[in-house]
Structure 1
């Protein structure tokens, strides 16, 4: 079964020529279709509920609320670093709503590194490499910013807060 899943994920990556080719299951039981966000900036963030950077959910929500006419944020819970996202999809959904009032789209829990890396992050990692950024995902809350045409324009490490000038300069 795992082999079939990996083969399916690999074929999705190989067929993807743009961020807009991806569709992922959301925490709400919905499908997140990246093509629905053409014309907007997209910030893709690998998240975790038990991380020192978890309070960034608050600023991610502020950023989304302030700029949602031109920016969508998509959170991807991942348990790749220090076991800091141990919860189920249901537990993650409840945690985000209860503690941070998250209203931006959240995908189901994925892997963002390693042999089972999700196709979205395999794609983003390859795009980051084109920008000269090797191994961009060092920890939770790495932020990938895609412009209105679907081109990766920046990668921000965990320590860069969502409401920092480093990010806001792309939105103002």
Structure 2
């Protein structure tokens, strides 16, 4: 009986490890809209803004504001990542069509994930993690700000415009925070 239990535990261990929730926002990967992978670990030590998007949503005009954030704060380390989703029935199913539309219509140059589920039982693990700490996206253009240390700092509803003062202040505070492991100066 002990051997059977030991075997069952050994067989279950990889499943338990695979199901273990990530503790930090930098622990996730997305399929890239152009192929390949977007590994958020590449931005470890930098703040990230992860936004579920949809091309045919009334909030799609926010793409231009997100592009402006990318241009203004990207050089200071902010990752703006669009995660297209059809979970609210307002996105094209074809990744190339999404990318082409966003580039041509809104001038999007920041990284985009491949179409991804952001809610429900098929939700991407990042959105499961973020929802456990904040709230699951209730609509397109829900925004999650992740700090340099990988903690979720804040979720912003769809109605929060990229140029709103409180949103910009949160981004600036995330950029001003010391990098993990940085020694205090002075």
The TM-score bracket by the shorter chain reads 0.7 to 0.9
**Aligned position for 2:98:** 92
Q: Say which of 72, 76, 85 aligns to 2:83.
A: 76
**Residues 91 and 98 of structure 1, relative CA distance in 2, 3 Å threshold:** same
Deviation at 1:30?
2.8
Between the aligned partners of 1:53 and 1:11, the Cα distance in structure 2 is 38
Deviation at 1:22?
1.1
**Aligned position for 1:147:** 147
Q: Say which of 38, 49, 55 aligns to 1:43.
A: 49
- Between Structure 1 and Structure 2, how many residues are aligned? 156
**Aligned position for 2:121:** 115
TM-score scaled to structure 2, two decimals?
0.79
Between the aligned partners of 1:154 and 1:15, the Cα distance in structure 2 is 19
Between the aligned partners of 1:84 and 1:11, the Cα distance in structure 2 is 35
Q: Say which of 10, 27, 31 aligns to 1:25.
A: 31
**Aligned position for 1:162:** 162
CA contact (8 A) 1:12 1:119 kept: no
Q: SS where residue 30 of structure 2 aligns? A: strand
Gaps of 5+ in 1: 1-9, 129-134
TM-score scaled to structure 1, two decimals?
0.85
Q: SS where residue 83 of structure 2 aligns? A: strand
Deviation at 1:106?
0.5
**Aligned position for 2:179:** none
CA contact (8 A) 2:119 2:136 kept: no
Between the aligned partners of 1:29 and 1:45, the Cα distance in structure 2 is 19
**Residues 37 and 137 of structure 1, relative CA distance in 2, 3 Å threshold:** same
What is the root-mean-square deviation of aligned Cα atoms in Å?
1.6
**Residues 170 and 156 of structure 1, relative CA distance in 2, 3 Å threshold:** same
Q: SS where residue 90 of structure 1 aligns? A: helix
Deviation at 1:12?
5.0
Gaps of 5+ in 2: 1-15, 173-186
Which contiguous aligned blocks of 4+ residues in structure 1 show a shift greater than 4 angstroms? 10-13
